Amino acid sequence: MGTGDAVKNLTIENLAKTYFDPFAGSQVTAIRDISLEVRAGDFVSVVGPSGCGKTTMLNMIAGFLPASSGQIRVDGRPVSGPGPDRGVVFQSFALFPWRTVLDNVAFGPKMRGIPKEKRHAIAREYLELAGLAHAADRYPNELSGGMQQRVGVVRALANEPDVLLMDEPFASVDAQTRMTLQEELTRIWQERRPTVVFITHDVAEAVFLANRVVVLSKGTVLADVPVPLPRPRTWHDLIEDEGFKSLSAQVLQLVRSA
């Protein structure tokens, strides 16, 4: 994404996060030591058992939480807080209920000072991409969960971030819709090639979407598994695919041993 040929890497170096739990009266380590490199245009899934620190890591990349030590850099610039270079898709969708779908998607461009007509054109283009053009003038609460999360994804994409951070975005939609959303996401990724860090606890989802699956355990990287499956990917093709099955089994083993 973005312009020019600059390489927009995401680099994580010796990241750690500890915080004081006033109720337990002790220091808690959420992330012990994570180093990770995500190349521009790559799609990396991060899996791990609950409590492994995957959501904490994402919140730190997004700039919502400060690091205790270590560093996160996007395109060479150290992360010091939230910013439009890192788009976030939330599990709870986090759409603005008082804005129409169109104005939700146009929010990022609006913050960049793009005039109304132009930002609406941008928003329409991205809604088109997700097959949502017909819903432009609806309010989020009038849409199904699956539709709302489509809006959540294109709202982040419309701001053309260097990195797209997705925190279990499909965890709260039903199973059929989830498969459709996963297929749509791979299609959009192939079309636009954003850099994606995708947090999930669903191993099949992680393998289906990513070029790489990073397994976290107890606040460190346990394994980094490449996924050389061909694209475009559909569940129809992959559900019986031997390569997909053995990769999923391998990642599942790692997660369960973690």
Partner 1 sequence: MKAVPAWLRLWSAYVRWTARWPALAAVVPFVPVVVLWAVVAESGIFPRVFFPGPMEVIRSFGKLMYNGILPAYLEDSVVRLAAGTAVGMALGIPIGLLVGLSDRAHKLLWPILLFFQAIGDIAWLPILLIWFGFGLGTMTFVIVYTVLFPIVLNTALGVRSVPLELHRAAQSLGATRARVVWEVVLPGALPNIVTGLRNGLGYGWRALIAAEMIVGTSGIGFLMFDARRAGSVVEIMLGMIVLGILWYIVDSWVLAPIERATGQRWGLVTR
Residues that bind partner 1 (CB under 8 A): 62-64, 81-84, 86-88, 90, 92, 94-98, 107-108, 111-112, 139-142, 155-156, 159
Give the H or E element holding residue 102.
Answer: helix 101-105
Kindly tell me which of 65 and 221 has the beta carbon lying closer to partner 1. Answer: 65
* Region at 197 (left for phi over 0; alpha for psi -120 to 50; beta for the rest): beta
Least distance CB 203 / partner 1 (angstroms): 26
Beta strands in 188-246 (DSSP E): 195-199, 212-217, 220-226
Of 10, 112, 9, 2, nearest in space to 60 by CA: 10
- Tell me the residue length of the chain: 258
Kindly tell me which of 82 and 232 has the beta carbon lying closer to partner 1. Answer: 82
Cis amide leading into 232 (omega within 30): yes
Least distance CB 206 / partner 1 (angstroms): 23
Answer for the pair 167, 55: CB distance below 8 angstroms, yes or no.
yes
Least distance CB 244 / partner 1 (angstroms): 32
Kindly tell me which of 93 and 244 has the beta carbon lying closer to partner 1. Answer: 93
Least distance CB 9 / partner 1 (angstroms): 19
How many other CB atoms sit within 10 Å of the CB of residue 89? 24
Q: How far is CA 38 from the centre of its chain?
A: 13
For 43, the token pair is: 């799609």
Least distance CB 98 / partner 1 (angstroms): 4
Least distance CB 99 / partner 1 (angstroms): 8
Task: Give, in degrees to the nearest 5, the angle at Cα 77 between 19 and 201.
Answer: 50
Of 65, 52, 50, nearest in space to 19 by CA: 65
Q: How many CA atoms lie within 13 A of 34 on its CB side?
A: 37
Least distance CB 232 / partner 1 (angstroms): 29
Kindly tell me which of 59 and 182 has the beta carbon lying closer to partner 1. Answer: 59
CA-based diameter of the chain, in Å? 54
How many other CB atoms sit within 10 Å of the CB of residue 113? 7
